[in-house]
Amino acid sequence: MGIQTHKTFCRFCHANCAMLVDVEDGKVQSVRGDPDDPEYGGYTCMKGRELPDSHNAEHRLHHSLVRDANGEFRETPMAEALDHVGSEFRRIIDKYGPDSIALFMGSGGYQNSSAMMATMSLAQAIGTKHFFTSVTLDQPAKVFTTERYGKWMGGVNNFSDADVALFIGNNPIVSHYAPVGGVPPFSPSKRIRDRQKEGLKLIVADPRLAEVGQLADIYLPVKPGEDPALLAGMLNVIFEEELYDRNFVSAHVDGVEELKAAVAAFTPDVAAERAGVEKDQLVAAARMFANGSKGCAVTGTGPEMAGNGTLTEYLVCCLNTLCARFKQEGEKCGVPGVYTAQTPKRAQVAPPAPMFGVEGMAKSRFRGLGQLLFEMPCNVMADEILTPGKGQIRALISVGGNPEVGFPNQLKMRKALDDLEIFVQIDPWMSASAKRADVVLAPKQCLEREDITNLSEWWHERAYARYTEAVADAPGDVIDEYEMLWSIGKYLGVQMNLPGGPVPMDECPDKQTFLDLMTAGCLVPPSQVRQDVQAAGGAAVIYEDLHPVIEAADEEEQHKFDLAAGDMPKNLEKYGADEARAAGFDFRLISRRSKARFNSIGQPLERLGRKITTNPAYIHPDDMQQQGIADGDVIEITSPHASIHGVAKGSDRVRRGLISMAHAFGDSEAGKHNVREMGGSTNRLTSDEVDFDPITGQALQSAIPVRIAVA
């Protein structure tokens, strides 16, 4: 039949880059960026370009695996494997109750547009409180805590409107991630440089001079974990010099005096000293940010992983609020969200929306933590598995996650996974977690599925949408994740529900039906987008005329931001008074992203693996000399909790006193003997029981106190 070229999009990560895919006899031959796409313009990254390998690799799982009586994996037909999971779940629920079942949504699962809602729907149908997602591993504060200070119903300024931007620990050029208001992750470097030609001023704060820092007008090499000092110092300057938007603040913001009192102690001298930056640079950054007219401060995942995540996100909110970085009446809204349930877009503040600590939300048995909106913090999962008592987790299904290398306290999590009565891992590869599972369910890869662009639309400043068909044939006996979750629900006899109503449970609905049900209330339903995309020859559709415009405020309903909510000014004062360093651990290990991985995804791919064979430990050359370490030495890195190994690599882009390594790397089997091939997992160095955020449970996964020595 020859080669056929299809228009579709990548789902290796959440950026959903537009792609042209050559397929022959149902098999992916090659991929490249689609130069005609109006948003992506042909952009791809090295991970996306390896989609042929991720579909065709010989060691990809084509069949599910179930352990036999001897504990050996046995290839098992999908229907039989799902029946086995269903019957084990039934037995466990009958014996221990619904909370004994846990569901974890990981980074791999998110890339399937239906898997998140299918997982949450199954958890609710079972009636378990134990629904977890990877959000609580790296960025829970920005998702679950910031709306308690209020939310502007019109949304924040777009990056394309901005004349100034502040990126804190956010390197979108490699991570392909930014919160709303940050740079869209498709062609991020070009977008930034193009905007700079039009006058954008860029401020970057990061302990490491990463790719985006090299483009900055002001680069602040902030000490890891001391972002609150830097931000409080900038707020101090903004108050002292009255650089904030006084009209906006007097009309829309409460709690200003409390905030002003709390930042008073962070004079430029004090803040710069604690943050480890030049005082003049801090002052210049505050003036540059506040003197801009549009543009947001945003954080990556690093600042949240480095401790004080809730405080850092609060201070970022304060900066954006005092400087009124919001869309105003008559402007097009920043993120139209074609597949997002629509809410009123008005030039006013919505009432605070607490997402934790509310009556009726379930509590964990550990550390005073509890549900954040619909999910439990990952921090408590290992203890909820290992500790007998009411609600103990006895079964876990991980949807594209990799708990062995992603969760804090690796050795405890490994023990917990082994303690389960059944651990089910949905995974196309024998990942570190799959190796510990009782059942591995083999899913379709992205080009074998229908999907929509719901995961990337918070970066689309226009009403951009796609619905892709499956463009390649699925090998062996693999199915879509939503079908697996539906099958387990069907076996258990529970009713799954979605925003659009009950999911048919007699026969598995087709994907379009499932997607329509889960996006009820959106701007254009997936079934309509599918027709429009087909009419456009598979290309994206932009619904320009449906782009919502910000309406005037509803005078009947007036609310204000509250910058004193949650006693956060007092929390800042407490942080100011507490500058403890862990005695005997003179270095800080900071987390970084690897160009050849998306969290732990990509490790099994041969060509990506060749690009980065280990997880290098980047250290400043002067520190290496002082410690007697040479480039390429295997070093032992020891935290107060555990040790790992790493291969030393000199880099003058990291501050003195730091080690920079990728998180979610490697395998718990990595040690001195094989670290060059496998790479160490930094999550082994962390603890779920100390150094965690009291609201979100976010463990200290960056800025970890360590000492180093040649191994």
- Give the one residue of 6, 7, 8, 12 binding ligand SF4; rule: CB under 6 A: 12
Using alpha carbons, list the distances in angstroms from residue 634 to 641, 701, 705.
20, 22, 19
Residue that is written with structure tokens 């002001």 in the block: 218
Q: How far is the CB of 443 from ligand SF4 (least distance, A)?
A: 17
Given the complex with ligand SF4, which of 43 and 561 has the nearer CB atom? 43
Q: How far is the CB of 16 from ligand SF4 (least distance, A)?
A: 6
Query: Rounded to an integer, what distance in angstroms lies between the CA atom of residue 190 and that of residue 173?
Result: 9
- Give the one residue of 6, 7, 8, 17 binding ligand SF4; rule: CB under 6 A: 17
Give the helix/strand (H/E) hosting 493: none
Q: How far is the CB of 17 from ligand SF4 (least distance, A)?
A: 3
Structure tokens at 197: 């030609």
Given the complex with ligand SF4, which of 452 and 494 has the nearer CB atom? 452
DSSP result, 406-417: HSSSHHHHHHHH
Structure tokens at 142: 């920005």
Which one of the spans 12-20, 120-128, 166-174, 431-439 is the region binding ligand SF4 (CB under 6 A)? 12-20
Position of minimal CB gap to ligand SF4: 48
Asked if residue 15 binds ligand SF4 (CB under 6 A), the reply is: yes
Which one of the spans 6-14, 495-503, 542-550, 589-597 is the region binding ligand SF4 (CB under 6 A)? 6-14
Contact 64, 441 (CB under 8 A): yes
Which one of the spans 11-19, 75-83, 356-364, 579-587 is the region binding ligand SF4 (CB under 6 A)? 11-19
Q: How far is the CB of 23 from ligand SF4 (least distance, A)?
A: 17
Structure tokens at 436: 């510990």
Asked if residue 16 binds ligand SF4 (CB under 6 A), the reply is: yes
The stretches of 198-255 forming alpha helices (DSSP H) are 227-240, 246-252
Given the complex with ligand SF4, which of 12 and 144 has the nearer CB atom? 12
Which one of the spans 8-16, 96-104, 237-245, 496-504 is the region binding ligand SF4 (CB under 6 A)? 8-16
Asked if residue 180 binds ligand SF4 (CB under 6 A), the reply is: no
Structure tokens at 34: 């689609």
Query: Rounded to an integer, what distance in angstroms lies between the CA atom of residue 122 and that of residue 687?
Result: 30
Q: How far is the CB of 699 from ligand SF4 (least distance, A)?
A: 26
Q: How far is the CB of 466 from ligand SF4 (least distance, A)?
A: 12
Q: How far is the CB of 428 from ligand SF4 (least distance, A)?
A: 15
Residue positions counted in the chain: 711
Identity of the residue numbered 475: P
Q: How far is the CB of 151 from ligand SF4 (least distance, A)?
A: 28
3-class DSSP state for residue 659? strand
3-class DSSP state for residue 317? helix
Query: Rounded to an integer, what distance in angstroms lies between the CA atom of residue 494 and that of residue 505?
Result: 8
Query: Rounded to an integer, what distance in angstroms lies between the CA atom of residue 696 and that of residue 383?
Result: 16
Cα–chain-centroid distance for residue 429? 21
Query: Rounded to an integer, what distance in angstroms lies between the CA atom of residue 505 and that of residue 515?
Result: 15
Q: How far is the CB of 663 from ligand SF4 (least distance, A)?
A: 18
Query: Rounded to an integer, what distance in angstroms lies between the CA atom of residue 361 and that of residue 31?
Result: 46
Given the complex with ligand SF4, which of 12 and 244 has the nearer CB atom? 12
Q: How far is the CB of 309 from ligand SF4 (least distance, A)?
A: 25
Given the complex with ligand SF4, which of 109 and 233 has the nearer CB atom? 109
Q: How far is the CB of 461 from ligand SF4 (least distance, A)?
A: 17
Q: How far is the CB of 563 from ligand SF4 (least distance, A)?
A: 35
- Give the one residue of 13, 204, 230, 465 binding ligand SF4; rule: CB under 6 A: 13
Using alpha carbons, list the distances in angstroms from residue 302 to 81, 306, 653.
38, 6, 16
Q: How far is the CB of 34 from ligand SF4 (least distance, A)?
A: 11
Given the complex with ligand SF4, which of 167 and 407 has the nearer CB atom? 167
Measured from the Cβ of residue 239, the count of other Cβ atoms closer than 10 Å reads 18
User: Which among 495, 501, 524, 523 has a CA at the least distance from the CA of 514?
Assistant: 501
Given the complex with ligand SF4, which of 308 and 453 has the nearer CB atom? 453
Contact 541, 532 (CB under 8 A): yes
Q: How far is the CB of 12 from ligand SF4 (least distance, A)?
A: 4
Given the complex with ligand SF4, which of 45 and 103 has the nearer CB atom? 45
Contact 66, 358 (CB under 8 A): no
Give the helix/strand (H/E) hosting 37: none
Q: How many amino acids of this chain bind ligand SF4 (CB under 6 A)? A: 11
The DSSP letter of residue 365 is S
Nearest 5°: the CA angle 657, 660, 664 is 145
- Give the one residue of 176, 436, 588, 684 binding ligand SF4; rule: CB under 6 A: 176
- Residue 70 makes CB contacts below 8 A (sequence gap 6+) with none
Which one of the spans 14-22, 520-528, 616-624, 684-692 is the region binding ligand SF4 (CB under 6 A)? 14-22
Cα–chain-centroid distance for residue 623? 32
- Give the one residue of 6, 7, 8, 10 binding ligand SF4; rule: CB under 6 A: 10
**Cα dihedral sign, 191-195-197-202:** negative
Q: How far is the CB of 274 from ligand SF4 (least distance, A)?
A: 36
Identity of the residue numbered 455: L
State the binding string over 31-70 for ligand SF4 (x if CB under 6 A, else -). -------------xx-xx----------------------
Structure tokens at 96: 């221990």
Query: Rounded to an integer, what distance in angstroms lies between the CA atom of residue 567 and that of residue 573?
Result: 10
Asked if residue 174 binds ligand SF4 (CB under 6 A), the reply is: no
Q: How far is the CB of 41 from ligand SF4 (least distance, A)?
A: 12
Query: Rounded to an integer, what distance in angstroms lies between the CA atom of residue 343 and that of residue 550?
Result: 11
Structure tokens at 298: 């945003």
Rg (CA), the chain: 25
Given the complex with ligand SF4, which of 16 and 114 has the nearer CB atom? 16
Asked if residue 452 binds ligand SF4 (CB under 6 A), the reply is: no
User: Which among 652, 645, 640, 647 has a CA at the least distance from the CA of 704?
Assistant: 640
Given the complex with ligand SF4, which of 10 and 271 has the nearer CB atom? 10
Given the complex with ligand SF4, which of 17 and 397 has the nearer CB atom? 17
Number of H helices, E strands in the chain: 25, 30
Given the complex with ligand SF4, which of 12 and 104 has the nearer CB atom? 12
Contact 482, 116 (CB under 8 A): no
- Residue 123 makes CB contacts below 8 A (sequence gap 6+) with 101, 103, 130, 131
Which one of the spans 10-18, 102-110, 369-377, 444-452 is the region binding ligand SF4 (CB under 6 A)? 10-18
Binding to ligand SF4 in span 84-143, by CB under 6 A: none
Region of 701 please: left (phi>0), alpha (psi -120 to 50) or beta.
alpha
Given the complex with ligand SF4, which of 19 and 355 has the nearer CB atom? 19
Residues at the contact surface with ligand SF4, assessed by CB under 6 A = 10, 12-13, 15-17, 44-45, 47-48, 176
